[in-house]
Amino acid sequence: MPSKIEELVRAHDEWRSGRCINLQPSENILSPAVRRALSSDMAGRYTLRSNEFITNDGASNSYGGTRYLDEVESLGEETASSLFHGAHVSLKPLSGHVASLLMVAATCRKGDTIMSIPSTEGGYDGYGQQYIPDLFSLKFRPLPFDRERWNVDENVAAEAIREVKPRLVVLGQSFILFPYRMKEIREACDDAGAVLAYDASHVMGLVAGGRFQDPVGEGADIVVGSTHKSFPGPQGGLFVTGDDGIWREFTRNTTWRVIDNAHWNRIAGVAQAFLEMKRHGPRYAARIQSNSASLGRYLHQEGIECKFGRIGYSKSHQLHLDGAAMTAAGFTFGSFSSKLQGSDIIVDTTGRLGTSEVSRLGMGEKEMKSIASLVGEAAAGRDVRAKANKLRREFDIHYT
């Protein structure tokens, strides 16, 4: 007889990946090959290769039986290096947040200042004063932001960087819609002696697909991020740099300071996802962008307003619901989310809608129209579960 846990896992899988239309921008679904890697024997194994800081008493590894594990990691790193254009890549960070911790540890010292987009403007909470900065005894200063364009206010931000002289500037947001113009920020970082990083947690799938922007090509010293939001890999983190000094510090801080076991089944899964993105990434990323714009337009026709319609809604995998219009319609983001969940349409409670997963399933313009209509009906109080389930069942991962 299955255990209670087995029953819960099965019920979750059957509901969330079998029947729901998932519009959460922080999530994605995995290909069958990635799932196979996650449940493989690698889930129970160790490997710890020697490097400049880990000598293993002269042996090349602390463990035996590692030859396939090590080859998987090397191939994954090589593929990621070709996708993100950085000479040095690590798949070891266990999540995007852990990659951010390692980035800060590799670049900042006690008392330094870090500048990033504040959470009030959609920046990642983790860079806020009381989180990563307090952990490392750093000061946080906000990077000036233009709410009208939902983008960094490049010239004002460049001036602020020259004045504040932070040790680290981090671009990227949890509520990211548009690429940044990095030239002014890069020049200001050069003048201020600051390291420029790009947190691509949300847009990594678009970057890997050659869309959105190329952070390293446009001047970032470091790219960090999650491997499971717009990038369709297992939950994990990525660290990329072209800078030998930063790489050395990263390596010093990784094993036994932040990570011991890096979860090799996860690394196999993410390496497989890199191979899939190498082949299918451009098409997937283009579809995400066109689906975001179409969904915004079709929702408008249903009377559900997203912000920034006048500038095309979004170039990313996200749309932002218009809070004022929601309030006028009697919703909070939370109550809107619960209402939709009643019809098996899953959105978060922060006012974001995401198109990664539906795009990964192969849905396009026609389905965005159907989804907008289902969202409209569900918001109006009708139970459209049967229609949502039917639409979901018509699609499956169309490549492995």
Ligand X SMILES: Cc1ncc(COP(=O)(O)O)c(C=O)c1O
Name the site residues for ligand X (rule: CB under 6 A). 26, 95-97, 100, 124, 126, 172-174, 199, 201-202, 226, 237
Of 237 and 269, CB closest to ligand X = 237
Q: Nearest approach, Cβ of 189 to ligand X (angstroms)?
A: 19
What is the spatial distance between Cα 281 and Cα 232, in angstroms, rounded to a whole number?
10
The two tokens of residue 397 are 């991962």
What is the spatial distance between Cα 102 and Cα 236, in angstroms, rounded to a whole number?
14
Q: Nearest approach, Cβ of 232 to ligand X (angstroms)?
A: 14
Q: Nearest approach, Cβ of 173 to ligand X (angstroms)?
A: 6
Of 100 and 254, CB closest to ligand X = 100
Q: Is 244 exposed, middle or buried (0-12, 13-18, 19+ CB in 10 A)?
A: exposed
What is the spatial distance between Cα 371 and Cα 249, in angstroms, rounded to a whole number?
47
Is the distance from CB of 318 to CB of 353 less than 8 angstroms? yes
Of 211 and 229, CB closest to ligand X = 229
Nearest partner of 92 among 206, 202, 227, judged by Cα:
227
Of 100 and 356, CB closest to ligand X = 100
Of 267 and 378, CB closest to ligand X = 267
| Chain centroid offset of residue 50 CA | 30
Q: Nearest approach, Cβ of 226 to ligand X (angstroms)?
A: 3
Residue of minimal CB distance from ligand X?
A: 96
What is the spatial distance between Cα 84 and Cα 78, in angstroms, rounded to a whole number?
10
Q: Nearest approach, Cβ of 353 to ligand X (angstroms)?
A: 15
The per-residue DSSP string of 171-210 comes to E--TT--S----HHHHHHHHHHT-EEEEE-TTTHHHHHTT
Q: Nearest approach, Cβ of 208 to ligand X (angstroms)?
A: 16
Of 320 and 387, CB closest to ligand X = 320
